[in-house]
């Protein structure tokens, strides 16, 4: 969208900053398989992309498994996945630098806990690009509740008209709209909430915005 302007970005992490769904799906499948449960990878990936928070409880219910144990084993397998295989999407670093160069802020609002978020950011050497990071492990409700967005806006005195939320799911868009900021969908997930713009490639996006 030529002429689209913003100053600050509030980023989602999984599926937005990083291509992590292959690792997440593999960890879910491994946790299920060791308990004798089998399901197609495509189904798991679609479920995780819609809501990772609901995926494990739904699968535990489907296969009559202990949801707490399934979650523990999922985290075990995910923690064992090399960070190098969970890479930032092409163009992410350039967009992060563009925001900083324009005196804006990069911020994070994610369901991923701090204990897994920070190592991922540090491994890929982009941790310093973010002014702040809020997660559900900090005590905030999960998106689409806009609490994390509103806290970041208040904490840094951001103008809502200058702030863009980028995510890959409906709940990211719903949270952004509830917070009164601009929204962008990264990727091609089926959605019900119309974003202000669609982003399929960050490199192309950089060439289109001011």
Residue 168 sits in a domain whose CATH number is: 3.40.50.1000
pLDDT value of residue 92: 98
Please report, for residues 14, 55, 75, the alpha-carbon distance to residue 29 in angstroms, rounded to integers and kept in the order given: 18, 12, 12
203 shares a domain with 111: yes
42 shares a domain with 111: no
190 shares a domain with 116: yes
pLDDT value of residue 4: 66
Token duo for residue 102? 């324009």
Report pTM.
Answer: 0.92
pLDDT value of residue 53: 82
161 shares a domain with 57: no
189 shares a domain with 95: yes
Residue 48's domain comprises 21-84
The tens-digit pLDDT sequence of the chain (210 residues) is: 555 689 999 999 999 999 999 999 999 999 999 999 999 999 999 999 888 888 999 999 999 999 999 999 999 999 899 999 999 999 999 999 999 999 999 999 999 889 989 999 999 999 999 999 999 889 999 999 999 999 999 999 999 999 999 999 999 999 999 999 999 999 988 889 999 999 999 999 998 876
Residue 62 inside a domain? The answer is yes
pLDDT value of residue 51: 83
131 shares a domain with 65: no
pLDDT value of residue 210: 62
Give me the sheet containing 197-199, strands edge to edge.
132-135, 106-110, 8-11, 163-167, 182-186, 197-199
Residue 2 inside a domain? The answer is no
109 shares a domain with 44: no
pLDDT value of residue 183: 97
Q: Measure the N-to-C terminal CA separation of the chain; round to a whole number of Å.
A: 10
56 shares a domain with 33: yes
What own/partner pairs with CB < 8 Å and gap ≥ 24 does 101-105 have? Answer: 102/7, 103/7, 104/6, 104/7, 104/8, 104/9, 104/162, 105/7, 105/8, 105/9, 105/131, 105/132, 105/156, 105/158
Q: Which residue, chain included where needed, has tokens 């941790």?
A: 127
Structural domains of the chain, count: 2
Which helix or strand (DSSP H or E) is residue 68 part of? helix 67-79
């Amino acid at each position: 969208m030529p002429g689209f302007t913003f100053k600050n970005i509030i980023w989602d992490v999984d599926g937005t900053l990083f291509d992590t769904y292959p690792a997440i799906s593999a960890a879910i499948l491994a946790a299920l398989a060791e308990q004798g449960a089998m399901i197609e990878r495509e189904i798991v990936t679609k479920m995780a992309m819609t809501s990772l928070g609901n995926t494990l409880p739904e699968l535990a219910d489907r296969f009559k498994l202990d949801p707490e144990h399934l979650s523990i084993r999922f985290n075990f397998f995910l923690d064992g996945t090399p960070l190098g295989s969970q890479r930032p999407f092409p163009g992410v670093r350039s967009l992060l630098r563009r925001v900083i160069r324009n005196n804006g802020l990069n911020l994070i609002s994610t369901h991923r806990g701090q204990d897994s978020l920070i190592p991922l950011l540090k491994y890929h050497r982009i941790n310093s690009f973010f002014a702040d990071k809020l997660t559900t492990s900090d005590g905030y409700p999960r998106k689409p509740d806009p609490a994390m967005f509103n806290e970041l806006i208040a904490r840094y005195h951001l103008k809502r008209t200058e702030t863009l939320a980028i995510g890959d799911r409906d709940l990211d868009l719903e949270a952004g709209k509830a917070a009164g900021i601009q929204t962008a969908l990264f990727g091609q997930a089926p959605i019900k909430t119309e974003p202000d713009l669609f982003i399929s490639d960050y490199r192309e996006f950089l060439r289109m915005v001011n």
